[in-house]
Amino acid sequence: MHRFEYYAPSSLAEAIDLLHTKGEGGKILAGGTDLMPQMKERGRHPKYIVSLKDVAELRGIRFSEQDGLRIGAGTRFAAVREDPTVKSRFNVLVQGAKLIGSLQTQNLATVGGNVCNAAPSADAVPAFIVADAEATIQGPDGRRTLPLKDVFTGPGQTVLAADEILTGVHVPTPPPRSAGVYLRHVPRKELDIAVAGVGVFIQLDESLQRITHARVCLSSVAPVPLRATQTEAALVGQTASEELYQRAGDIAAGEARPISDQRGSAAFRRVLVKALTVKSLTQAVATIKAAR
């Protein structure tokens, strides 16, 4: 490992000032579950590191019916998966959090680190996207917000400037008669990277028959987590049925932009996208109906 400067600010303002003053070539250290292996094994050599471990204002989970759910970027996934409100009202986020490596990893990995690592295979991100999450970003020029889906520009790349920090994620309160599901396929049962993943969010009408709203996000099948907008349009206004799910699966497979690599061919990934879309839609609708 190459030499680097290390800073551990105690406030967000101090962290931003460090990044702005030191300039290009730095990296932010959150939980370290991505950055440390990259430095040790993949040849990443930052000039300096700004650790956020002492920035308490970046941690925490808050919820209100009016404002929704706010999760600080420094919040660890173990806290997300065990929070009573998240488990009861935002279970799709728990589904994603439980897939972040091992229990030990979840006790270190942070929401902000997982997002900003910008891996196309990140399991937590599709769950947040279908939950309609919004990212809050802060830098020397102030604060800005944008849909989480718009944060990613490519593998390992985001819209954040070198002196900006992701400070949190906001998720609106789910509407009535709605549910989200995230499913993935991995070669091994645990501790593996998704070959393909699909997240869905569905809302039904009062009769619990017709889909009134839909969000679909695909992972590991494009350079970024991909909103399947054509699939969403095909679902809205339609009666929930196996035939509809199959048709949506075909459309989602067509929207995917997979590559072939050592974990699976592009053709195999498209087959997985269809199967996961059908299964996740089936589970989401069943969850809504079971809650009535």
pLDDT, position 256: 97
What's the confidence (pLDDT) of residue 125? Answer: 96
Do the beta carbons of residue 47 and residue 5 sit within 8 Å? yes
**Distance between first and last Cα of the chain:** 56
From 3.30.70.1880, 3.40.50.1980, 2.30.30.790, 3.30.390.50, which CATH number describes the 178-290 domain?
Answer: 3.30.390.50
DSSP letter (8 states) at residue 206: T
Q: Which residue has the tokens 């969403």?
A: 232
What's the pLDDT score for residue 152? Answer: 97
Residue spans of the domains in the chain: they are 5-51, 56-171, 178-290
CA atoms within 13 A on the CB side of 156: 6
CATH class of 5-51: alpha beta
Top CATH class of 56-171 equals alpha beta
Sheet architecture: strand order including 142-147: 61-64, 68-72, 165-171, 134-139, 142-147
- Cα 77 to Cα 115: distance, rounded to the nearest angstrom: 12
- How far is residue 127's CA from residue 179's CA, in Å, rounded to a whole number? 11
Consecutive 10-residue runs of the chain (292 residues): their mean pLDDT? 86 96 90 74 80 95 97 96 96 94 86 92 94 98 96 95 96 97 84 88 97 98 97 98 98 96 92 98 97 82
Strand 68-72 relative to strand 61-64, pairing? antiparallel
Q: Which amino acid is at 210?
A: R
User: Which tokens in the block code for residue 147?
Assistant: 């849909």
**Sign of the CA dihedral with 275 first, then 280, 285, and 287 last:** positive
Quick check: do 56-171 and 178-290 share a fold? no
